[in-house]
Amino acid sequence: MQTKMQNGIDIEKDGKNRLKIVISGNILHQNIETPLGVLQTLSEADIKEVYFTANGLKDWDSSLVLWVYDTQKLCREKKVECNLKSLPQNLQDLIALAFAVDRKPSRSDGAPLSAVENIGKTALDLKQKITNALEFISAVFSGIGRCLSFSSIMRKTDFFAALEDCGPKAIGIVCLISFLIGLILAFVGAVQLQTFGAQIYVASLVTIGMCRIMGAIMVGVIMSGRTGSSYAATIGTMQVNEELDALQTMGLSRIDFLVLPRLFALLIALPILTMIADFLGMLGGAFVGVFLMDIPHQEYWKYAFNSFHLNNFLVGVFHSFCFAFIISLCGCYSGLKCGKNADSVGKATTQAVVSAIVWMIVVTGIITVICQELGI
């Protein structure tokens, strides 16, 4: 008995209890139907074994894989032995892989952890996160060393692209926010100083506040939300698209290729933006003092420049350097540790912004205490 099923697939009974499936020719882009002929033969006859022969098989694609898979699945349901040894080895491997995949993963039925176990698990997770962060920071400083010794693979085009993004393109929002912050500082200070008839010192208040700390902090917050999140989203998307795996496969350092250009760009751009923010903050205070408090502009700028001390200016610039490190490291680290789905990119972006702002506040407190102790 022989049945012609499809072009290149024949079914015939070989003896009483065996079913032979002959595959020959080219089986490409064919819409092969479910093996109904095999099912009919297994139902009508007492078949103990189904085996394939593929001596005449030439080119084939996934349509053949699907047909053989359905046939073997049918044999398993009928408890009939299915012999694939005559098929090409790569086809056998695909079929074995298809049956090896667990399409219904088992759900853990373990008992919930106790309070003490939860504390221990949290401590171990925290330890692992700290270890990963320290390893990343160490790798970044090693990359900086390679760059200074001219052995890094950092590309100039990546550096200039990052510098353009976090420099000239960010000037507009920095100027606007800094002007408004200076204006707000002037308003807040004027309310108290007018009580003593000392509103002229609004110029000193705004100048010292903006140059020493407020200019750097506001630029840091703006850049963490604008640039730090961009770093995390960009690198996280590369993780989703498996571009980071491709870099690793090619033997390229992800630190040199992705982190260093963004770090150096922010180290250059953030101090410059901080200087611009200081001036715009002073200009915002001048707007309030001159136009709303009727302070002569010559007097305002006289008190402003008399309050402008180099120590205050350098402290603000030092803050900006520290913030540049924090924003770039938090953004790049969150992107590199991102998962491989869209939701993970959103979480990485949020984590980058939150962690950058938190660490900026912590570092600001530390620097303030140190400056207070040193009398700066």
The answer on 308 and 166 residing in a single domain is yes
DSSP structure class, residue 310: H
Arithmetic mean of pLDDT, 330-356: 88
Answer whether residue 368 shows pLDDT above 50. yes
* Within-domain flag for 44: yes
The answer on 154 and 51 residing in a single domain is no
pLDDT of residue 254: 85
* Within-domain flag for 119: no
- Residue type (1 letter), 177: I
Q: Which residues contact 142 (CB under 8 A, 6 or more apart)?
A: 255
The answer on 145 and 88 residing in a single domain is no
| Cα distances (Å, whole numbers) of residue 318 to 21, 259, 297, 323 | 78, 21, 30, 9
> How far is residue 223's CA from residue 166's CA, in Å, rounded to a whole number?
8
The answer on 147 and 91 residing in a single domain is no
| Position 250 confidence tier, pLDDT thresholds 50, 70, 90 | confident
Q: How far is CA 208 from the centre of its chain?
A: 38
The answer on 291 and 226 residing in a single domain is yes
More confident residue, 111 or 353: 353
The answer on 144 and 87 residing in a single domain is no
pLDDT in tens, 347-359: 889 999 999 999 9
> How far is residue 13's CA from residue 1's CA, in Å, rounded to a whole number?
6
* Within-domain flag for 16: yes
Answer whether residue 129 shows pLDDT above 60. yes
* Within-domain flag for 105: no
Arithmetic mean of pLDDT, 204-219: 87
Bridge-partner residues for 9, per DSSP? 6, 23
Bridge-partner residues for 25, per DSSP? 57
Work out the angle at residue 367's Cα, subtended by the Cα atoms of residues 199 and 131, and round it to the nearest 5 degrees.
Answer: 145
Arithmetic mean of pLDDT, 187-215: 81
The answer on 145 and 49 residing in a single domain is no
* Within-domain flag for 111: no
361: domain range? 134-374
The answer on 250 and 155 residing in a single domain is yes
- DSSP helix/strand/coil, 311: helix
Give percent above pLDDT 70 in the chain.
Answer: 90
> Looking at 100, 125, 151, which one is the last position of a domain?
100
Helix axis angle for 260-286 and 310-336, nearest 10°, is 140
The answer on 163 and 86 residing in a single domain is no
pLDDT of residue 27: 77
pLDDT in tens, 64-87: 888 888 888 888 887 888 888 888
The answer on 200 and 55 residing in a single domain is no
Q: Domain count of the chain? A: 2
pLDDT in tens, 170-184: 899 999 999 998 888
* Within-domain flag for 107: no
339-370 exposure pattern, b = at least 16 Cβ within 10 A, e = fewer: eeeeebbeebbebbbebbbebbeebbeebeee
> Looking at 41, 74, 100, which one is the last position of a domain?
100
* Within-domain flag for 116: no
Q: Which residues contact 238 (CB under 8 A, 6 or more apart)?
A: 244, 258, 335
**pLDDT, mean over the chain:** 83
DSSP structure class, residue 255: I
The CATH number covering residue 51 comes to: 3.30.750.24
Arithmetic mean of pLDDT, 253-277: 90
* Within-domain flag for 91: yes
DSSP 283-302: HHHHIIIIIIS---HHHHHH
Answer whether residue 2 shows pLDDT above 60. no
| pTM of the entire predicted model | 0.67
Q: Which residues contact 252 (CB under 8 A, 6 or more apart)?
A: 153
> How far is residue 234's CA from residue 156's CA, in Å, rounded to a whole number?
18
pLDDT in tens, 145-162: 888 888 888 888 888 988
Please state the three-class secondary structure of 176-214 as a single string: HHHHHHHHHHHHHHHHHHHHHCCHHHHHHHHHHHHHHHH
pLDDT in tens, 13-57: 776 677 778 787 877 766 565 565 666 666 666 777 887 888 877
pLDDT of residue 4: 47
Give percent above pLDDT 90 in the chain.
Answer: 14
| Position 299 confidence tier, pLDDT thresholds 50, 70, 90 | confident
The answer on 198 and 88 residing in a single domain is no
pLDDT of residue 328: 92
The answer on 156 and 50 residing in a single domain is no
